[in-house]
Structure 1
Amino acid sequence: MRRTALRLCGVLCAGVVAVTASACAGSAAGGGGDAAEGDPIKIALVFDASGPNAALGASQKAGVEFAVAEANEKGGIAGRKIEVYSADAQSTPDGAVAAAQQLVQRDGAKFIIGMVTSPATLAISQRLESWDALAIADQAQLNDLTGKNCNARLFRTTQSDTMSFNSIGRWLKDNPLATWDTMSQDYSWGRNSAAAMQEGVQAQGGRVDKALFAPIGTSDFAANLSQLAGGDGLFVSSNGSDAVNFFKQGLDFGTFANYKTVVGNTAFSSATLDAVTDPRLAGMWNQNTWAPGVDNPGAKAFVEAYTTKTGKAPTDVAGLAYLGMQTLFAGIEKAQSIDPKTVAKGLEGLEFDSIKGKVTMRAADHQLEAPVYMGQVEQVDGQNRLVEKFTYPASETLPPPDGSCQLAS
């Protein structure tokens, strides 16, 4: 468990300062209501520092810390400095809950961000009211998070599963293929992804021959790869070390050469492409939530500032974490408060500029109305990179609010 407070004298001189236990206990003891004027905004960064999602967690941490450093350089948010308290979620829902609970109850952090998976996000969402906290879901795509399991204190800044597959559906209309196989992680997000892909393929008159699944943390995909005999298309819904292992082993097996095209659902993240350098990935497609090449002023400014500070472009995951922080900061500015319930009200219906352009937090279900992207893997300066090819606005991918979402007032 790690506790840090990020303060800075400028974007290029961000420092990490230890926070004493007594100071944290004093801040947390008050509980309830708004904090005193000038009290810092305390962020609970619940990220995966270990386990199969560790690479994604590292990128999230980088995006959050950059956003905090940038904001503090400009004087903070709503006149307050921002502090980040971080803990390892261990790539499990139980680990995420334990980490968040300690950061909230011990350190007084009231704004939670960083969960990679939908199960971890859902587990934390169920405890927000009792913790008097607010959470930003910057990675989790499970429809139920803004559907039957929506929460007045949870706000999603990435897209939902339906938004992802509506964008893939748009791509399928222009690239109809008759036969598909699917390979997905064996949990709620992966199974929903496979089901949505099958529905989309059938809508175009095609069929899915094999729908395969592997548990999170799988290191040997030989049994799965031996069943992927080829066809028109292969759809892969995976991330973290699972995606890295699958693509490395699939290249060794020669699996992908048996398909006309390979399409990923976030599978070709920056972390995956950094780890799998084989140029044979070039030409494969990926639905993605954000990438450094997105063409809008907010994205360009972020990429330039991040690259100047760190010496490298932000990953897609770092960008999503930054977007989550942009959303939270916009809500705090609107509310002029750091009381979670008040900030939640400030976020509802809020329109603001972001690295995805002008976006709106939909009040009915707390889903961010933002574009979705389709990109293709290309070799750029000898490295595999995802290059955005199509941008689909929220008006074309975001369905109406799910009637099962009933937000408590």
Structure 2
Amino acid sequence: MDFTRRRFGLAVGATLALGGTGAFAQKGETVKIAWVDPLSGMLANIGQNSLRTFQFMAEKVSANNPAGVRFEIVPFDNKLSPQESLTALRAITDQGIRYVTQGNGSSVAGALIDAINKHNERNPGKEIVFLNNAAVDPDFTNAKCSFWHFRFDADTSMKMEALTTYMRDEKNVKKVYLINQNYSHGHQVAKYFKEALARKRPDVQIVGEDLHPLGQVRDFAPYVAKIKASGADSIVTGNWGSDLSLLIKAAKDAGLDANWYTYYAGANGSPSAIGPTMEGKVKYVYIGHSNIPELATWMKEYNARFKEDLSLLSTLHVLPMLAQAMAKAKSTDPVKVAKAMEGLSIKSFSGEVTMRATDHQLQQPLYIASWRKITDPAKQYNVEGTGYTWVQERVFEPYVSSTPTSCQMSRPG
């Protein structure tokens, strides 16, 4: 693994060390990818950061990839709505775009998977492939798995397996409060935490649980009051975007003294909300963090160009793997490319990652990082200009966090 990462560092940034000598698929061809996520509403900052990251990656990968193709990102604002996303999908098919990426909201991803399945069945020769960059409902690679869907982030159950393995050894965790968004991801964070807790720390009490509307709460003070009254020493949340930033702000305002175990504290905007008063109290589980050495060059370049941090690291796997699959297939045809992507491995900022053929779930390391004051400015990334950074606590190799699948996939032909 260490040797792989050193080789990666020599490849001028993240995920371009793709390996292999595949023939050009269609040298000079432009491959359009429809990006479907929120550019308006309370969670727009997450969508805007995602779009800029995809555009950044398209530029990098277009300049150097084994298929010889150029990627163009075509944005569609879905306002975080499944219905708006289906309207966008009709426009995408009308424009002849054959690849779609989305990540914010499993409710949206579920609607897209179902619609793309139906479209592909009805329109042979015009198939669309869905590149899921962040929607983490485990059902998408289990009961609802689809040949046309590939997930590049780790799912909710994988992250919870890693997070609770870390928490198992945290003896200060005795009373936990669960607070999550009221949709599939939030429900599953609570479900998988309870299941893992029973196996790993049956002594820990769950002293409260809340579900709140997705992207609608502007004042979390009432929720924080309940957490404070419960006596919880730890909070577990899958919240993201403004739902996490505003929750943390309310906790700080109320003087809540607790440890936070999160999925998305590293996402755009949340580090600034955490600030200096919660040092060492906030942790998150993800496929990477801002201080992985192999990411240093691109972190700095992205920040210099867009005046924000590159935080959606799952994006860094999508286009490099797609290009490698096109080189392997010697084609940009979605059916051939999807088949080529099954079982495909590429070298990443975290070592080798593999798209599991059984269910199209990327297998990759997971990290636990903790919010700390910068002690070595020359080596540590200054997250959102706060003077604080994410310090790695643990890394779990793919076999540790990988979860089994019940997928019974139907494949074309």
Coordinate RMSD, CA, aligned = 2.2
Distance 2:60 2:266 in 1: 28
| CA shift for structure 1 position 301 | 5.2
- Alignment partners' CA distance in 2, 1:172 and 1:69: 39
Aligned residue among 264, 268, 271 for 2:269? 271
Does the 8 Å contact 1:42/1:108 carry over to 2? no
The match for 2:94 among 64, 83, 106 is: 106
- Name which of 166, 174, 185 aligns with 2:169: 174
% same residue: 22
Query: Are 2:248 and 2:274, in contact at CA under 8 Å, matched by a contact in 1?
Result: no
- Provide closer, same or farther for how the CA distance between residues 235 and 37 of structure 1 changes in structure 2, counting only shifts above 3 A: closer
Describe the shift of the 1:277–1:210 C-alpha distance in structure 2 as closer, same or farther (beyond 3 A): closer
Question: Aligned in 2, Cα 1:334/1:285: closer, same or farther, shift over 3 Å?
Answer: same
Match of 1:352 in 2: 346
SS in structure 1 opposite 2:393?
A: strand
Contact 1:271 1:315 in 2 (8 A): no
Partners of 1:110 and 1:340 within 8 A in 2: yes
Residues 255-309 of structure 1 deviation map (CA, whole Å, 9 limit, x = unaligned): 2x1x3x22112244242113x15311221211123222124x4x345435545x6
Contact 1:136/1:157 (8 A) holds in 2: yes
Cα distance, 1:343–1:285 mapped onto 2, change above 3 Å: same
Matches within 5 A, 1:292-307: 292-295=290-293, 297=294, 299-300=295-296, 302-303=298-299, 306-307=302-303
| 2:71 is equivalent to residue 82 of structure 1 | yes
- In the alignment of these two chains, the number of paired residues is 365
| Among candidates 321, 324, 344, match of residue 318 of structure 2 | 324
Distance (whole Å) between structure 2 residues aligned to residue 90 and residue 269 of structure 1:
18
Instruction: Report deviation, 1:314.
Output: 4.0
Residue aligned with 1:374, SS: strand
* CA distance in 1 between partners of 2:308 and 2:242 (Å): 21
1:124-273 equivalences under 5 Å are 124-129=112-117, 130-131=119-120, 132-176=127-171, 177-203=173-199, 204-205=201-202, 206-217=204-215, 218-228=217-227, 229=229, 230-255=231-256, 257=257, 259=258, 261-273=259-271
- Which residue identity is paired with 1:89? N
Q: CA deviation at 1:311?
A: 6.6
Q: Which moved more, 1:42-51 or 1:127-136?
A: 127-136
C-alpha displacement at 1:73, in angstroms?
Answer: 2.6
Q: Deviations over 1:32-90 (max 9, x none)?
A: xxx9875421111112101232111111111111111112333x662332222111011
Whether 2:49 is the aligned partner of 1:59: answer: yes
Give the letter for the 2:52 counterpart: A
Structure 2: gaps (5+ residues): 1-11, 13-24, 121-126, 375-381
Does structure 1 retain, via aligned residues, the 8 Å contact 2:132–2:149?
A: yes
Q: Matched residues in 2 for 1:292 and 1:327: separation?
A: 21
Q: Aligned partners of 1:395, 1:71: CA distance in 2, in Å? A: 28
* Consecutive unaligned residues in structure 1, runs of 5 or more: 1-10, 12-34
1:383 to 380, 387, 395: 387
CA distance change for structure 1 residues 301 and 363 in 2, over 3 Å: closer, same or farther? Answer: farther
2:8: which partner in 1? none
* CA–CA separation in structure 2 for the residues paired with 1:100 and 1:115: 15
**Matching residue's letter, 1:280:** T
Aligned-partner SS, 1:246: helix
Query: Residue 152 of structure 1: SS of its match in structure 2?
Result: coil
Note the C-alpha offset of 1:379. 2.9
Superposed displacement of residue 211, structure 1:
1.0
Equivalent AA in structure 2 for residue 391 of structure 1? V
Once residues 134 and 247 of structure 1 are traced to their aligned partners in structure 2, the CA distance between those partners, rounded to angstroms, is: 37
Q: Distance in 1 between matches of 2:79 and 2:66?
A: 30
Q: For 1:311 and 1:55, how far apart are their aligned partners in 2? A: 13
Per-residue Cα deviation, 1:146-180 (whole angstroms, up to 9, x for no partner): 01111101100100111101101211121132221
Mapped to 2, the partners of 1:313 and 1:387 lie a distance apart of: 19
Are the equivalent residues in 2 in contact too, given 1:244–1:272 (CA < 8 A)?
Answer: yes
Select the structure with the greater relative contact order (CA < 8 A; seq sep ≥ 6): 2
Shift of 1:345: 0.3
In structure 1, how many angstroms separate the alpha carbons of the residues matched to 2:111 and 2:322? Answer: 20
How far the C-alpha of 1:397 sits from its partner, in A, is 0.6
Match for residue 20 of structure 2? Answer: none
CA contact (8 A) 2:178 2:208 kept: yes
Q: Distance in 2 between matches of 1:94 and 1:127?
A: 11
- TM-score scaled to structure 2, two decimals? 0.82
Task: Tell me the distance in 2 between the aligned counterparts of 1:392 and 1:138.
Answer: 20
Give the letter for the 2:83 counterpart: D
The 3 A distance-change label for structure 1 pair 266 and 245 is: same
Q: Distance in 2 between matches of 1:49 and 1:209?
A: 37
Q: Which residue of 2 aligns with 1:407?
A: 410
Paired residue type of 1:78: A
Could you tell me whether the CA contact under 8 Å between 1:89 and 1:96 is conserved in 2? yes
User: Which residue does the alignment assign to 2:333?
Assistant: 339
DSSP 3-state at the match of 2:409: coil
